[in-house]
Amino acid sequence: MKENIQPATGRLGVLVVGVGGAVATTLITGTLAARKGMAKPIGSIAQLATMRMQDGKEHLIKEVVPIADLNDIVFGGWDIFPDNAYEAAMYAEVLKEKDLNLVKDELQAIRPMTAAFDHNFAKRLNGTHIKQAATRWDMVEQLREDIRQFKAANGCARIVVLWAASTEIFIPMAEEHRSLAALEQAMKENKTEVISPSMCYAYAAIAEGAPFIMGAPNLCVDIPAMWEFAKAKQVPIAGKDFKSGQTLMKTVLAPMFKTRMLGVSGWFSTNILGNRDGEVLDQPENFKTKEVSKLSVIENIFEPEKYPDLYGNVYHKVRINYYPPRKDNKEAWDNIDIFGWMGYPMEIKVNFLCRDSILAAPIALDLVLFSDLALRAGMSGIQTWLSFFCKSPMHDFEHQPVHDLFQQWRMVKETLRGMVGETAPSYLD
């Protein structure tokens, strides 16, 4: 019931890993501009979307549940480069200078804390603004102290930690990830090959009672050790990888093919991207992490074991190419080979000239606001209802992820209705 949700009183600190990156600076600038009435939070479900309630009327989601007010948000975070948010945003070249100047003073005041960084996990980046830590456990302790100091210095009632940094190299799940005790021991023994910097951020956030959101496809909170810790600390965790461009299209098109019982023989996807994330993904070990995330989508939606005649032999290929001239303006191109009545082939071409950070920024905002809401509603552990925003939805070993965008949207609304004691309408919503 709504009365059991703690009110969103006090300031909400949003600590972003990669606070000087393109996504983070776009998120921060847009939020600051929106609360001054200088921009609209377009793309934000929490700010603009409505849902039908039992009274038969459409209500803004932010009027149904007590979402934190944008005016109460305080931004901070960590970055491997020392630039303030204004300087970083100018470097990213996502937003025009005239738009950044609307909130220039506030952006200049956001200076990153030194980052927990390991060059082996992102070899294309050469950070200079980094922590010196003897072990991963020491790294965690420094991050925890950062969170505590930021919270106190800014008078925050609550903190949410958001990973908006680059994709780390691919690491498989290891024995050190299967229990909290094993994870902590590996941190203390400084097993750097299995304990990534992102795991240190996640552990630190959870330890300080702050929800953690994984905005990249890194192996991080999607391990039993983190599930155990999040449950013990009664903290929500969400992820992974912002569903912003090409994969968003797949979660719309693939359900359409399946609903119409149209067959698919091949799906070739390629991207060109020129920002810092594109440079990192040009390293094969980092691309592997992203590839696993992007490839899992259509197989889950198609259920080839159930429909072998339609989807039992889909050839699915994903490519990302670093192309500096495009900067943050990614181009995603898909060729889909489908077949219909009597097996006759057809083709669909999708050319999505998107702006990566423009699409990701409202996703990041919504994940922050809804994770904070979940914390105040007494929810903890994996937030499956936030799969709507993620390429690779988090799930435990007993459940399958849901990738269909429309099923995911229904999960969001059902969860929000449940928070205030209402049930879904009798019709398909």
Mean pLDDT of the chain: 94
Cα–Cα distance, 348 to 397 (Å, whole number): 35
Which tokens hold the place of 12? 């909400």
pLDDT digits (tens, 9 = 90+) for 41-85: 999 999 999 999 988 899 999 999 999 999 999 999 999 999 999
Cα–Cα distance, 255 to 266 (Å, whole number): 15
pLDDT digits (tens, 9 = 90+) for 360-388: 999 999 999 999 999 999 999 999 999 99
Burial class (CB in 10 A: 0-12, 13-18, 19+), 375: buried
Is the backbone peptide bond immediately before 240 cis, with ω within 30 degrees of 0? Answer: yes
CA-based radius of gyration for the chain: 21
Q: Does residue 394 contact residue 221 with C-beta atoms inside 8 Å?
A: yes
Looking at residue 1, its pLDDT comes to 43
Q: Which residue has the tokens 């996640």?
A: 202
136-153 and 180-188 are packed helices; what angle lies between their axes, rounded to 10 degrees? 100
pLDDT digits (tens, 9 = 90+) for 387-400: 999 998 988 888 88
pLDDT digits (tens, 9 = 90+) for 229-283: 999 999 999 999 999 888 999 999 999 999 999 999 999 999 998 877 777 877 8
Smallest CA-to-CA distance from 79 within 32, 122, 41, 43 is with 122
What is the pTM assigned to this prediction? 0.94
Q: Does residue 151 contact residue 193 with C-beta atoms inside 8 Å?
A: no
Looking at residue 291, its pLDDT comes to 73
Domains along the chain with CATH numbers: 2-242+357-419 (3.40.50.720), 246-353 (3.30.360.10)
